[in-house]
Structure 1
Amino acid sequence: MSNLPPLNTDTIWEIIKDKIDDATVNQLVWHYLGYRYNSTTDKWDNHEVLPEWRDEYPEPPNFLDSRPATMKLTRSIPKEYKQGLKEKLGFKGYKIGEFTPRETRRATAANWLLSYWQQQHPE
């Protein structure tokens, strides 16, 4: 997981536009939640993960397959960052009837990552 793309607005757009594969999207979220894979023990290290995540998900969930995990991710975005994709990037959303649950979950992951990035780089 050391070959992750940088966390910036270009990466966020690539997630939204489906130019980054699902596995990498998950790995980005896992990384910034604090999950680390230990290849020596072949296990996940979750010591850096906040208790509210670690207790429910001792191993990182697949956010693009798990509605409950994605809902938790959505709820964990601070209120002031909830509209980040729209306000910061100008993302107009998907057209009704033209998007899938997978795309919605990718947008949620992108919004969470943007929120994380904004909290680390306040203007």
Structure 2
Amino acid sequence: MANLPPLTDATFWAILQDELEDAVANQLVWQALGYRYNEAQQRWDNTAVSEDWRSAYPEPPDFIGSRPATVKLTRSIPPENKQLLKEELGFPGYQVNELVPRKTRRATLVNWLLSYRKLSASGSSS
């Protein structure tokens, strides 16, 4: 997971506008959740992942391709951070004809990352 882009507004817009590959977008969340790939052992190390996530997903899930993983991600966003897409990015949402699972899951991923960034800045853990 080397060379991931920083958690900046530009990165978040790149995810929303489908300019960042799914793999990279997923890796940003995996990194934040604590998943690390052990090259020597050729497997995922989840010892830094919270028990709640580790038991449900011993290996990092594909958030863009998996509805259940995205639902869990949504539920883990604190209520006060549910509107960060609008509040911090000014994201107006997608048009009705754009509402496809891939885009809505990317929006969920960005909202979770915004919440993670906010919690990290305030010293709280996610």
Q: TM-score range by the shorter chain?
A: over 0.9
Structure 1, residues 28-76: CA drift from partner, whole Å, max 9, x if none? Answer: 1100000000010000000000000000100000001110000000000
2:10 maps to what in 1? 10
Deviation at 1:77, TM superposition (A): 0.4
Equivalent position amino acid for 2:8 in 1: N
TM-score where L is the length of structure 1? 0.96
Question: Aligned with 1:87: secondary structure?
Answer: helix
The 5-angstrom pairing of residues 33-48 of structure 1 reads 33-48=33-48
Q: 1:98: how far off?
A: 2.1
Aligned counterpart, 1:53: 53
Q: Which runs of 5+ in 2 are unaligned?
A: none
C-alpha distance in 2, partners of 1:28/1:75?
18
- The amino acid of 1:88's aligned partner reads E
Aligned counterpart, 1:82: 82
Partner of 2:23: 23
Give the Cα separation in 2 of the matches to 1:114 and 1:68: 20
**AA in 1 matched with 2:68:** P
Task: Name the CA distance, whole Å, in 2 between partners of 1:8 and 1:80.
Answer: 20
Matched residues, number: 122
Question: Relative CO higher for 1 or 2, CA cutoff 8 Å, sep ≥ 6?
Answer: 1
- 3-state SS, counterpart of residue 97 of structure 2: coil
Report the aligned-residue RMSD.
Answer: 0.8
Q: AA paired with 2:76?
A: S
State TM-score, norm by structure 2: 0.94
User: How far has the Cα of 1:117 moved from its partner?
Assistant: 0.4
Runs of 5+ in structure 1 lacking a partner? none
Corresponding residue number in structure 2 for 1:92? 92
Deviation at 1:97, TM superposition (A): 2.3
Moved over 3 A (4+): none
The equivalent of 1:65 in structure 2 is: 65
